């Protein structure tokens, strides 16, 4: 039997990269996992039999070395500034190394005039990787991850509050996929390129949920009542600034605020859910409740306890005491390229046409 192709996984300690690496190893594919540092996540990768490549994935010299001797690759830019730089480095190195197939992680929001610089950079990256006809690519076009809700699971577990700026609690606005299901679609395309070349997939969860329903799912998994609270953008900024360990830079927070606005506008509900997890990943997509249950099982600190509640109140007070910052000013200070007339996805005729929508407007319709 011919040897299985070796696969390079970028961002291999990240949310999707780790799962992609582990799933590939479970199928006995040789994996080179690009990580920034050795830590408990790289230990997991090594234990699963992945070869570690420790380095800086924004460096072309290092990416060239990482691409040596690999046949396929997963392209995953971190949620951080310089995404276009990362994607250009990855694309150039993959092209030079004549990598036979690439799966690239794009965004459902990817569009030419989007208010988010990160998203416009994803749009340019999508063009860049498709420019050479000899490059074989599958695009995985994800919306808002379920993982984003888990950032505030601690407050749900100890204070019974699901606090996010998602707008009206009764409107169904997202069918969020798990990291594992996103990875299943990536792995499906990496292990069987012939069936997936040139295709775009959008992994989602099984059903659209409203913020109230997300809170209920969390409550069932946590064994307590959880209530959704629609927080202001200012509170979101303060809360993201204090998050540990999933700490986001101020630069990333400016973009996450724009993504929350897309969420409130119902952009992630457009044409969701899909059956791509089943068709490409090979199994039914996970329900949010089971995603939360897995996290609860992994984190004993989420069990209800007096010390847990006291420290959750402490963290909540810390959020209140944390200074917010002005999003526009933060973008200006970083010299972010900004458009005079940016367009959210559902204001953009080209995005609407590409995503073949039944569009939901700023005040989205309720979907029964």
Ligand X SMILES: NC(=O)c1ccc[n+]([C@@H]2O[C@H](COP(=O)([O-])OP(=O)(O)OC[C@H]3O[C@@H](n4cnc5c(N)ncnc54)[C@H](OP(=O)(O)O)[C@@H]3O)[C@@H](O)[C@H]2O)c1
The verdict on 190 binding ligand X (CB under 6 A) reads no
Least separation in angstroms between residue 133's CB and ligand X is 24
Q: Spell out a b/e string for 223-238, using b for 16 or more CB atoms within 10 Å of the CB, else e.
A: eeebbbbebeeebbbb
Nearer to ligand X, 160 or 177 (CB): 177
- Backbone phi, psi, residue 102, to 5°: -125, 140
Nearer to ligand X, 148 or 324 (CB): 148
User: Could you tell me which residues come within 8 angstroms of residue 266 by beta carbon, excluding any fewer than 6 positions away?
Assistant: 171, 173, 346, 360, 361, 362, 364
Cα 338–chain centre separation: 23
Q: What angle do CA 307, 160, 157 make, to 5 degrees?
A: 50
Query: Looking at 44-52, 71-79, 278-286, 341-349, which segment touches ligand X (CB under 6 A)?
Result: 71-79
| Residue nearest ligand X (C-beta atom) | 14
The correct pick among 7, 8, 9, 13 for binding ligand X (CB under 6 A) is: 13
- Backbone phi, psi, residue 262, to 5°: -60, -40
What is the x/- site pattern for ligand X, positions 92-111, by CB under 6 A?
-------------x-x----
Closest C-alpha to 338, from 125, 114, 124: 114
The verdict on 78 binding ligand X (CB under 6 A) reads yes
The verdict on 144 binding ligand X (CB under 6 A) reads yes
Between the alpha carbon of residue 17 and those of residues 9, 100, 228, the distances in Å are: 6, 19, 30
Closest C-alpha to 289, from 223, 218, 227, 226: 218
Nearer to ligand X, 246 or 313 (CB): 246
The verdict on 142 binding ligand X (CB under 6 A) reads yes
Alpha helices by DSSP H, 266-359 = 276, 288-298, 306-321, 327-333, 349-354
The correct pick among 43, 51, 56, 192 for binding ligand X (CB under 6 A) is: 56
Residues in the chain: 368
The correct pick among 7, 9, 16, 215 for binding ligand X (CB under 6 A) is: 16
- Dihedral (CA of 33, 36, 38, 41) sign: negative
The correct pick among 7, 9, 11, 267 for binding ligand X (CB under 6 A) is: 11
The verdict on 76 binding ligand X (CB under 6 A) reads yes
Nearer to ligand X, 29 or 74 (CB): 74
Nearer to ligand X, 72 or 114 (CB): 114
Nearer to ligand X, 160 or 285 (CB): 285
The verdict on 263 binding ligand X (CB under 6 A) reads no
The verdict on 21 binding ligand X (CB under 6 A) reads no
Least separation in angstroms between residue 11's CB and ligand X is 4
Between the alpha carbon of residue 23 and those of residues 171, 179, 184, 274, the distances in Å are: 34, 11, 7, 22
Query: Looking at 12-20, 93-101, 186-194, 322-330, which segment touches ligand X (CB under 6 A)?
Result: 12-20
- Dihedral (CA of 230, 158, 180, 250) sign: positive
Query: Looking at 74-82, 91-99, 280-288, 292-300, which segment touches ligand X (CB under 6 A)?
Result: 74-82
DSSP class of residue 174 equals: B
Query: Looking at 144-152, 192-200, 269-277, 285-293, which segment touches ligand X (CB under 6 A)?
Result: 144-152
Token pair recorded at residue 178: 């798990």
The verdict on 169 binding ligand X (CB under 6 A) reads no
The correct pick among 53, 90, 123, 145 for binding ligand X (CB under 6 A) is: 145
How many angstroms separate the CA atoms of 157 and 292, rounded? Answer: 11
The verdict on 311 binding ligand X (CB under 6 A) reads no
Nearer to ligand X, 179 or 210 (CB): 179
The verdict on 244 binding ligand X (CB under 6 A) reads no
Please report, as ranges, the residues that interact with ligand X according to CB under 6 A.
Answer: 11, 13-17, 36-37, 56-58, 76-79, 83, 105, 107, 122, 142, 144-145, 148
């Amino acid at each position: 039997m011919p040897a299985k192709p070796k696969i390079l996984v970028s961002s291999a300690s990240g949310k999707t990269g780790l799962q992609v690496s582990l799933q590939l190893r479970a199928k006995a594919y040789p994996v080179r996992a690009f990580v920034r540092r050795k830590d408990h996540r790289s230990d997991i990768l090594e234990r699963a039999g992945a070869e570690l490549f420790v380095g800086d994935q924004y460096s072309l010299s290092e990416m060239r070395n990482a691409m040596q001797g690999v046949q396929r690759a997963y392209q995953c830019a971190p949620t951080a500034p310089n995404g276009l730089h990362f994607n250009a480095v990855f694309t150039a190195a993959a092209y030079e190394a004549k990598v036979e197939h690439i799966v690239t992680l794009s965004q459902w929001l990817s569009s030419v005039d989007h208010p988010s610089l990160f998203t416009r950079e994803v749009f340019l990256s999508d063009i860049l990787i498709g420019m050479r006809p000899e490059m074989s690519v599958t695009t995985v076009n994800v919306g808002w991850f379920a993982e984003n809700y888990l950032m505030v699971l601690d407050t749900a577990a100890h204070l019974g509050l699901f606090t996010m700026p998602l707008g009206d609690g009764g409107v169904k606005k997202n069918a969020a996929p798990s990291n594992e299901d996103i990875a299943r679609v990536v792995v499906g395309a990496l292990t069987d390129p012939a069936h997936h070349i040139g295709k775009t997939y959008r992994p989602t969860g099984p059903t659209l949920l409203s913020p109230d329903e997300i809170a209920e799912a969390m409550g069932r998994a946590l064994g307590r009542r959880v209530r959704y609270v629609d927080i202001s953008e200012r509170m979101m900024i303060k809360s993201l600034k204090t998050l540990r360990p999933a700490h986001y830079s101020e630069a990333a927070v400016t973009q996450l605020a724009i993504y929350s606005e897309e969420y409130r506008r119902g952009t992630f509900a457009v044409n969701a859910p899909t059956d791509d997890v089943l068709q490409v990943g090979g199994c039914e997509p996970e329900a949010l409740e089971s995603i939360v249950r897995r996290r609860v099982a992994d984190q004993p600190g989420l069990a209800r306890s007096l010390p847990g509640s006291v420290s959750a109140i402490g963290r909540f007070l810390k959020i209140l005491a944390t200074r917010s910052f002005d999003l526009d000013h933060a973008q200006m200070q970083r010299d972010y390229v900004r458009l005079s007339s940016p367009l959210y996805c559902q204001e953009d005729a080209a995005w609407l046409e590409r995503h073949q929508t039944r569009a939901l407007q700023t005040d989205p319709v309720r979907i029964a």
